[in-house]
Chain A
Amino acid sequence: MGLTSASAGRGAALSDRSAGGRSLPVVALAGNPNVGKSTVFNALTGLRQHTGNWTGKTVALASGRCRARELELVDLPGCYSLDPASREEAVARDFLACGQAAAVIAVVDCCCLERSLALALQILALAPRAVICCNLSDEAEKRGLRIDFALLSSRLGVPVVPCAARSGRGLDALLSALDAALADETAAPKAEYRSFLPGEGGGEASVACLAECTRLLDGVISRPVHCRSSLTERIDRIAAGKYTALPLMLALLLGVFYLTIIGANYPSQLLSKGFTALEGLIRALFERLNVAPWLTGALLDGMFRTVGWVVSVMLPPMAIFFPLFTLLEDLGYLPRAAFCTDRCFRCAGSCGKQALTVCMGFGCNSAGVVGCRIIPGEKERLAAIVTNSFVPCNGRFPLIIALSSIFLASSAAAAAGLTAAFVLLAVFVTLLVTFILSKTLLRGEKSDFLMELPPYRPPKLGQLIIRSVLDRTLHVLARAVAVAAPAGLVIYAAANIHVGNGSLLSAFCAFLDPFARFFGLDGAILAAFILGFPANEIVLPIAILAYTSGRSLAELGSYSELWNVLSANGWTWVTALSVILFSLFHWPCSTTCLTIRKEAGTKWMLLSMLLPTAVGFILLAALNGTIRLVG
């Protein structure tokens, strides 16, 4: 899902640092996907750069200061060789080839040295100073593998250090080896490995390189590995089993939503009570200080209330959803989900890796769009970008869950079932639109689909919770609040600045009303969707503000109060269903739009806005037309 500041922000920080200020020696980390490269990076820097257990997680350069040395570490995207097949692999190659790095830490996986050593040889051909970090040595020991690191080191002529980055074992030795390598003034790239660098040939360099690995490893490994870990094999018997895989996937989907709904209910009420009490206190303080009523209104009824709403409705579900999702991600379940559903994506004419970007979209569509870089074919990548916002992001789940719980479902289990059904509908529409695109605008040659299924790895629960709460939950919440506060102010102003015989907001709502009514919405809802362009999270709060401008709410954010306000404004289950559908299928938020423009260009951004909106209006017209006919 990659929903961290790491994927977006730190690449920029890197170029800032090299442009000015004190420049530290740069050490690059390179390696295959799934060898625990990001874990090594995190252990060395202490940065909580998010690491997911899937191929091609790092899509932008993350960098950080080494904790124990005066070094700048750069985490390169995982790749299998220095022959770029997809955009992110090109990033790693370019960085190594341009010579910016003083040294390279080549991370390899002890459990599959026969493959992961190949990239290390290519790195040795380019980089003058390198250290080989044999990660996951603990896992290799558990599997009974004995590796003669000293022999390998003498054969290669570079330090080879066994590590278990998860527990921090071997990192000191790695840093010492790095010190020695950096101090070596006469170091040069290994010319004898230059022929392993992929050129124009059809992979002959890779064959030679892997054959060399086999030769180098002869006598180094106690026995060749031609089996999977028994844990992974046992889990996959169920997670990818013929009869169990799809029911398990459905059960996980339902389970995640059920836990989110059940778990979020009480803290949401508590938070909303807290905000209401706080609002009362501030109001009393303002009265004592003789603050002008218009200012009190703007700050409390506009800004504070919108922020309070966003926090109390969004924070609890996110604080539950994100850790659960991160758990599945860290375990390595998501590639299995892609493996099991690939046939659907193949039938839709798309790359199986789109299943992964769809999953990323559940967290944040903007992150999902960036994640589409893992798709090698240009046309399939564009299709995945354009359709990414068809799946609901975390900013839209609270609305879907709240409206399902209030208007459509009588129990938490039913609400979870409905939410899961909406998600399945969203995935179905994603596939349908992808299919149409692959037959029309994005017709053409299909690229291949090769996806690694990494072994399951037990996640570290403590780290997982800290990371998902700090990096994801608070990151997303901060963005929502940053948008909600000024938006609340503007909406309040619009609701209280009078033109003619109504407010600016009511005039806007009234203008939209006839059009919106046709689709089962009303002017206030459509206005809320338009004004909520900066962030989906604030759509419902804006609608509430439009309905209640000037009046005070007993307890903002609670479901019963929400029901009172909405039903007083003529909402029925049809309205709720229409709003949920429109929330699923309308233009993406401004952040996602800007990301799409950056990744694919203005033309595709406009299409990405147009397509979901068209689907939304068509669905709503069909739904409401049918209901009018029947009723």
Chain B
Amino acid sequence: MAEKGVFPLGGLPLGAEGTIAAVRAEGELRRRLTELGYFPGERVKKVLVSPLGDPSAYLVRGTVTAIRRQDAESILIREAGEWD
């Protein structure tokens, strides 16, 4: 799945936006992410990074959620500009 221009959510710079391409999480984490709007096609923006480097907070569907880097690895995104 080394699709060009697709990278894990954690790699998004602070303040940048992207579009979710895939969510590879399984089970409970997948379900909870989906409830919050983390599924393909949704816009996501990194709005905060913890002063200790992890976790970061992301904006999806008007809600800001803190996600640990390890969990954010399972979410693949495209940078907004490239997509449309």
Residues of A within 8 A of B (CB): 80-81, 83, 85, 109, 111-115, 118, 198, 202-203, 206-207, 210, 225-228, 233, 236, 240-243, 245-246, 335, 338-344, 346, 352, 376, 447-455
Question: What residue in chain A is nearest B28 (Cβ atoms)?
Answer: A85
A-B contact pairs, 9 of them (CB 8 A): A114-B61, A203-B34, A206-B34, A207-B34, A240-B57, A339-B55, A448-B25, A448-B28, A450-B32
Whether, in the assembled complex, B29 has its beta carbon less than 8 Å from a beta carbon of chain A, the answer is yes
Whether, in the assembled complex, B52 has its beta carbon less than 8 Å from a beta carbon of chain A, the answer is yes
Please tell me the number of chain B residues within 8 Å of chain A, measured between CB atoms.
38
Question: A202 and B36: CB pair below 8 A?
Answer: no
Q: Measured between alpha carbons, how far is A81 from B47 in the docked complex, in Å? A: 24
Candidates B25, B53, B61; contact of A210 at CB < 8 Å: B61
Contact with A along B34-46 (1 / 0, CB 8 A): 1111010001010
Question: What residue in chain B is nearest A202 (Cβ atoms)?
Answer: B30
Known A-B contacts A118-B35, A206-B34, A226-B59; A343 and B65 likewise in contact (beta carbons under 8 Å):
no
Question: A111 and B62: CB pair below 8 A?
Answer: yes
Q: Measured between alpha carbons, how far is A112 from B59 in the docked complex, in Å? A: 11
Q: Measured between alpha carbons, how far is A236 from B62 in the docked complex, in Å? A: 16
Looking at B48, B62, B67, the one whose CB has the most chain A CB atoms below 10 A away is B62
Tell me if B's interface is mostly helix, strand, loop or mixed: mixed
Question: B51 and A242: CB pair below 8 A?
Answer: yes
Nearest chain B CB to A232's CB is how many angstroms away? 8
Question: B71 and A448: CB pair below 8 A?
Answer: yes
Q: Measured between alpha carbons, how far is A341 from B67 in the docked complex, in Å? A: 13
Question: A240 and B48: CB pair below 8 A?
Answer: yes
Whether, in the assembled complex, B12 has its beta carbon less than 8 Å from a beta carbon of chain A, the answer is no
Which B residues are in CB contact (< 8 Å) with A346? 54, 68
Question: What residue in chain A is nearest B52 (Cβ atoms)?
Answer: A343
Instruction: List which B1-53 residues lie within 8 A (CB) of chain A.
Output: 17, 25-37, 39, 43, 45, 47-53
Residues of B within 8 A of A (CB): 17, 25-37, 39, 43, 45, 47-55, 57, 59-68, 71
Nearest chain B CB to A197's CB is how many angstroms away? 13
Question: A343 and B54: CB pair below 8 A?
Answer: yes
Nearest chain A CB to B13's CB is how many angstroms away? 14
Which A residues are in CB contact (< 8 Å) with B62? 109, 111-115, 225-226
Question: What residue in chain A is nearest B67 (Cβ atoms)?
Answer: A450
Known A-B contacts A115-B61, A203-B35; A341 and B30 likewise in contact (beta carbons under 8 Å):
no
Question: B65 and A339: CB pair below 8 A?
Answer: no
Q: Measured between alpha carbons, how far is A346 from B67 in the docked complex, in Å? A: 12
Which A residues are in CB contact (< 8 Å) with B43? 226
Question: A340 and B51: CB pair below 8 A?
Answer: yes
Nearest chain A CB to B49's CB is how many angstroms away? 7
4 A-B pairs with the lowest CB-CB distances in the bound complex, closest first: A112-B62, A203-B34, A343-B52, A115-B61
Which A residues are in CB contact (< 8 Å) with B31? 83, 85, 198, 202-203, 206
19 more CB-based (< 8 A) A-B contacts, given A342-B55, A343-B53, A450-B66: A80-B35, A83-B35, A111-B62, A114-B37, A114-B62, A210-B39, A225-B62, A226-B45, A228-B64, A240-B48, A245-B51, A246-B51, A339-B50, A341-B52, A343-B52, A352-B66, A449-B68, A450-B67, A453-B64
